[in-house]
Amino acid sequence: MISKRLSQRVMAFSGVVLLTGATAFAQMYPGGSNPQQPSNPSINPNSNPGVNSPGNIPIQQQTGASSGMQDKAFVKKALEGGMAEVQLGQLAAEKGSSDDVKQFGQTMVTDHTKLGDQMKLVAAQLGVNPPASVSKKDKELMAKLQNLSGPEFDKAYIMAMVKDHKKDAEDFKSEVQQSQNPAVQQVAQQGEQVIDNHLDMIDKIAESHNLMNSKGKITASGQ
């Protein structure tokens, strides 16, 4: 009889112990979570660290922002320079004393107007407003050319075009290589081809006016 009562007490005590342990476990891990599994999916060891990784997102965003700023600066500068080429070309077509200078000036008006229209489409995509006027440097060049005439005008205009197109060729080539925007790359590549063609033309004109030798070096009379 005593053994039977003792067995009942032992069973009752064991039940209390099990119930207490279960309650404690539930309090430590609410919802029945497995303590060996991480609750934060972003640090799941089975996840792909290359997809939406918190360590990668800021780097990608920073790179994209940097490239976007570079593209905007290029497009704005190209529009400003193209506007100057058109206005200077109009001046050369009117005031040039030689046929080759007049023709080159008209070519500048035609080609840079077309290139400018294409550049404006890309500018709209990037949220870049076309410049209202040319740069201070180009305004000063126009003022200088306005006061010249005859061979002196031709010389000053030719030398300015050689210098400008060499610099523009470098800028457009650099943008083609560095831009990550397909639209910007395309218009920069088109511009590069146009400018390279213009540079070849003006180099030959400079040579014919004895301002440059056959090796592309400025002669004493062109300084």
In which band, very low, low, confident or very high, does the pLDDT at 67 lie, cut at 50, 70 and 90? confident
Transcribe 49-72 into DSSP letters: TTSS-TTTHHHHHHHHHHHHHHHH
CA distances from 125 to 7, 17, 73 (A): 85, 71, 14
Q: What's the farthest any 2 CA atoms get from each other in the chain?
A: 135
Asked whether the whole model's pTM tops 0.85, one would answer no
Question: Does residue 74 or residue 218 have the better pLDDT?
Answer: 74
Residue 215 is predicted with a pLDDT of: 67
Report pLDDT digits (tens) over 35-62.
444 444 443 444 444 334 333 333 334 3
Quick check: 96 and 157 in contact, CB under 8 A? yes
CB neighbourhood size of 99 (10 A): 8
Please, which residues have CB within 8 angstroms of residue 15's CB and are 6 or more apart in sequence?
none
pLDDT > 50? residue 24: no
CATH 2.160.10.10 fits 65-222, yes or no: no
Residue 223 is predicted with a pLDDT of: 45
In which band, very low, low, confident or very high, does the pLDDT at 113 lie, cut at 50, 70 and 90? very high
